[in-house]
């Protein structure tokens, strides 16, 4: 029988999204009321482990947070303990492995297990702790829905709802002014948000990372619509979409500790090319971080709650090194490393949508 645990830590890493607080609430209440465990919150993801910012969580701390966006614990997507950035004596940035410092802090607070909530970078960090003997249970989170091993991640449904609502509003002003409207959404390596919100809002063109686009063909499609009497067009672009020549739009050349460069700007490039090549008045709207914030949808609240409860059940049973996941409507457990084994990109079967051009 697995050794009984008495105290757990919970952290939220990576970019924030709607539903994080619902997981924290479910983890805390389930741990305390169902299993008699103590819960400690780790602030700002792995950064809190490095800096020893760990505090008790009780029922009052998580009361009323179900409907709130963001995370009461804070988050960071710039801290990988195995590659922690510090300044040396010369003032230059160097990266060091400070995993042992985190292990000391875990031991100091007598944490028997960690519930790690995050995306691919956070799950990779959890896998590193597992290799160092720390009991971890993962909870998959990302608005991009690109985490392998689960049908869907919480945060995705809310991001699609926000994007679709915005596109519905943009459609009315596009029609009124007879413009081509380009809307840039998040989606670094996978175009799930752009695809789902684009289809839901009736977008005419959807550009995603999975399919390199030819800007000349994009413009020809817009001109074809114009000749048929269409007074406006909606073009949805994922931030990671790239033209067929392979170039990628980045807003910063600096990479974070997980090797991610900050993307952005492809919407501006597409807008400029459309206006120059077609002569149509074209405007761009960049939503990006708007998709992360705000109140979670009912679906994300329920999914996040189910994930949190299952994570505590797994910890209580001693079923560690697992990530909770959604499979065919059921909550299951898969090895954490399965969650980062590969990127979950858009299913090609979803591309066959009447009236939509994918570049």
Residue 86 confidence (pLDDT): 80
Which carries the bigger pLDDT value, residue 101 or residue 85? 101
Domains 7-154+296-339 and 156-293 share a fold: yes
Please tell me the least confidently modeled range out of 36-45, 92-101, 289-298, 315-324: 92-101
Q: Model confidence over 9-20: pLDDT tens digits?
A: 999 998 899 999
Q: What is the per-residue pLDDT across 44-94, written as a single tens digit (0 to 9) for each? A: 999 999 999 999 999 999 999 999 999 999 998 888 998 888 877 777 888
Tell me the C-alpha distance between 320 and 339, whole Å: 14
| Per-residue pLDDT at 1 | 39
pLDDT tens by residue, 231-274: 999 999 999 999 988 654 544 445 544 455 555 589 999 999 99
The answer to whether 144 is a known catalytic residue is: yes
Mean pLDDT of the region 128-151: 94
Rounded to an integer, the average pLDDT of 183-194 is 94
- Average pLDDT over every residue of 204-233: 94
Counting Cα atoms < 13 Å in the Cβ hemisphere of 305 gives 12
- If you average pLDDT over residues 143-158, what whole number do you get? 94
**Predicted pLDDT of residue 322:** 96
Dihedral angle at the C-alpha atoms of 72, 299, 145, 285, nearest 10 degrees? -80
- Cα gap 119→77, rounded to integer Å: 10
CA distance 134 to 127: 9
**In this model, does residue 121 exceed pLDDT 60?**
yes
Residue found under tokens 């809310």: 158
pTM of the entire structure? 0.90
Averaged pLDDT score across all residues of the chain? 91
Q: What is the mean pLDDT of residues 160-184?
A: 96
Arithmetic mean of pLDDT, 31-53? 96
Domain boundaries, the chain: 7-154+296-339, 156-293
Position 341 scores a pLDDT of 83
Q: Which of 120, 144, 146, 313 is catalytic?
A: 144
Mean pLDDT of 174-197: 94
Whether the pLDDT of residue 277 is over 60: the answer is yes
Instruction: Report the candidate in 139, 156, 147, 140 with the shortest Cα–Cα distance to residue 296.
Output: 156
Closest by alpha carbon to 300, among 92, 149, 153, 180? 153
205, β-bridge pairs: 235, 357
Q: For residue 2, what pLDDT is reported?
A: 52
What CATH fold (topology level) applies to the domain 7-154+296-339?
A: Rossmann fold (3.40.50)
Cα separation, 6 vs 13, whole angstroms:
23
What pLDDT is recorded for position 348?
Answer: 78
Token pair for residue 259? 């090797």
- Three-class DSSP category at 155: coil
Beta carbons of 52 and 93 less than 8 angstroms apart: no
pLDDT of residue 340: 80
Of 150, 157, 194, 187, the residue nearest 341 (C-alpha): 150
Query: Packing angle between helix 215-227 and helix 266-278, nearest 10 degrees?
Result: 50
Is the CB of residue 15 less than 8 Å from the CB of residue 142? yes
State the pLDDT confidence band at 296, using cuts at 50, 70 and 90. very high
Architecture of domain 156-293: 3-Layer(aba) Sandwich (3.40)
Distance CA 199, CA 206 (A): 8
pLDDT given for residue 253 in this prediction = 47
């Amino acid at each position: 029988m697995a050794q009984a645990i008495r105290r757990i830590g919970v952290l939220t890493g990576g970019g924030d999204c709607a539903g994080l607080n619902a997981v924290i609430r479910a983890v805390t209440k389930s741990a305390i009321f169902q299993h008699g465990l103590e819960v400690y919150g780790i602030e700002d993801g792995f950064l809190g482990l490095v800096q020893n910012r760990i505090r008790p969580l009780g029922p009052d701390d998580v009361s009323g947070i179900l409907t709130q966006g963001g995370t009461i614990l804070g988050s960071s997507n710039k801290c990988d303990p195995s590659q922690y950035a510090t300044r040396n004596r010369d003032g230059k940035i160097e990266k060091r492995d400070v995993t042992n410092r985190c292990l000391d802090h875990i031991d100091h607070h007598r944490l028997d297990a960690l519930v790690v909530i995050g995306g691919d970078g956070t799950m990779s960090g959890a896998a590193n702790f597992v290799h160092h003997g720390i009991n971890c249970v993962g909870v998959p989170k990302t608005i991009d829905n690109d985490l392998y091993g689960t049908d869907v991640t919480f945060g995705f449904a809310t991001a699609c709802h926000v994007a679709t609502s915005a596109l519905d509003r943009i459609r009315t002003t596009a029609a009124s002014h007879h413009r081509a409207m380009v809307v840039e959404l998040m989606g670094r390596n996978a175009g799930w948000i752009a695809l789902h919100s684009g289809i839901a809002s009736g977008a005419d063109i959807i550009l995603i990372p999975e399919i390199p686009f030819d800007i000349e063909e994009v413009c020809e499609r817009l001109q074809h619509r114009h000749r048929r009497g269409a007074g406006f067009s909606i073009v949805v672009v994922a931030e990671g979409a790239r033209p067929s020549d392979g170039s990628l739009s980045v807003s910063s050349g600096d990479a974070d500790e997980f090797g991610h460069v900050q993307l952005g700007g492809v919407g501006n490039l597409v807008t400029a090319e459309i206006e120059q090549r077609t002569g149509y008045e074209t405007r761009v709207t960049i939503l990006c971080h708007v998709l992360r914030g705000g109140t979670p949808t009912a679906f994300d609240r329920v999914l996040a709650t189910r994930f949190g409860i299952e994570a505590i059940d797994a910890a209580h049973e001693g079923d560690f090194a697992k990530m909770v996941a959604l499979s065919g409507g059921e909550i299951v457990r898969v090895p954490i490393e399965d969650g980062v084994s590969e990127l979950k990109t858009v299913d090609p079967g979803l591309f066959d949508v009447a009236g939509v051009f994918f570049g």
